[in-house]
Amino acid sequence: MNSKEFADRLRARESVVGYWVTMDAPVATERIARVGYDYVVLDGQHGLLGIRGLLDGLIAIEAGGTPTVGLVRVEANNATPIGRALDAGAAGVIVPLIDTAEDAAAAVRAARYPPSGIRSFGPTRAGLRVGPVPAESDAATVVLAMIETRQGLENVAAICATPGLDGIYVGPSDLCLAVGGRYPGDPEVAEAFDAAIELIARTAGEAGIAAGVHTPSGEVARRRLGEGYTFATVSSDLDHLQAAAAAHLAATGLR
């Protein structure tokens, strides 16, 4: 519905901000969508949602009644989950673990209708959004490649140059391990990590595509948006809910 407008803004490298959902709880996802983020991502890789959870989540996002669009982080760089997420109504996909330009090109092909891609026709839920010409709906569908492996980092320029790719998306936890960190946020590799963060944003900027990043909070999102990133996602529902429950428990003074 708003997916074309969202895609336009993302491609124009306007600042957009999203929220990351890892649980199969449509009523929660609908509430989050009503908060007013530009997009909500349903995590099909590390999230605890199956096909039905992705579908219900995408419906819930639209039920929110805001312009918020639903994206899916697919479980793998594979045409099947990419096609299913889009047929279920996602406005775009975040594809994990992109190592090479070939990987990125495969992701793009899977998400585009012929003649530019190989997406099979059958937009069962998305159908009403797609006009008579399937290929025209490519304009309303974003494809984002995750940079989070050593190889992906080395090949970031080639990946960013992939025709049809709308943006890259940094997975900081995996990226930190990739640069030698023992755990996400390991201070021993802070320099290498920060250099990678900077390099990726710069490279995307030079390629003229969107530069996105995963963050744990609105504060970090704000910082990244000031460091060359054009979109940032705040993550995640389960973590924030657990943190809230813990904070309230502490506030009772009984623990």
Q: Which two tokens stand for residue 111?
A: 């998400």
Binding mask 40-59 for its own copies (x = CB under 8 A): ---x-xxxxxxxxx-xx--x
- CB-CB contact of 151 with 172 (8 Å): no
Q: Pick from 92, 171, 181, 212: which binds Mg ion (CB under 5 A)?
A: 171
Of 88, 93, 105, 168, the one binding its own copies by CB under 8 A: 88
The interface partner of residue 138, options being Mg ion, its own copies, none and the CB cut-off 5 to 8 Å by kind, is: none
Residue 230 is which amino acid?
T
Q: How many CB atoms lie within 10 A of CB 241?
A: 13
Is 21 within 8 Å of 41 (Cβ atoms)? Answer: yes
Residue range at the interface with Mg ion (CB under 5 A); choices 152-160, 165-173, 209-217, 246-254: 165-173
Sole binder of its own copies in the list 3, 42, 69, 75 (CB under 8 A): 75
- Interface with Mg ion, residue 174, by CB under 5 A: yes
CB of 30 to its own copies, least distance (A): 6
**Token pair in block for residue 84:** 């299913």
Of 13, 14, 9, whose CA–CA distance to 207 is shortest? 13
- Applying CB under 8 A, which part among 12-20, 153-161, 189-197, 198-206 lies near its own copies? 12-20
Residues 155-194 that bind its own copies (CB under 8 A): 171, 173-174, 177-178, 182-184
Residue where the block lists tokens 């490279």: 203
Cα–Cα–Cα angle for 122, 81, 241, nearest 5°?
A: 120
Give strand pairing partners of 213: 170, 232
Q: Are 231 and 211 in contact (CB under 8 A)?
A: yes
Tell me if residue 119 falls in helix, strand or coil: coil
Of 123 and 171, the one with the shorter C-beta distance to Mg ion is: 171
Sole window of 100-108, 133-141, 189-197, 204-212 interacting with its own copies (rule: CB under 8 A): 133-141
The residue of the chain with the least Cβ separation from Mg ion equals 171
Active site residue 46: yes
The answer to whether 242 contacts its own copies (rule: CB under 8 A) is: yes
Among 97, 161, 192, 199, binds its own copies (CB under 8 A): 97
Tell me if 27 sits within 8 A of 60, measured CB to CB.
yes
CB closer to its own copies out of 89 and 92: 89
Strand segments, DSSP code E, in 126-197 are: 142-147, 167-170
Residue in 8, 102, 121, 154 binding its own copies, rule: CB under 8 A: 121
Active site positions, annotated: 46
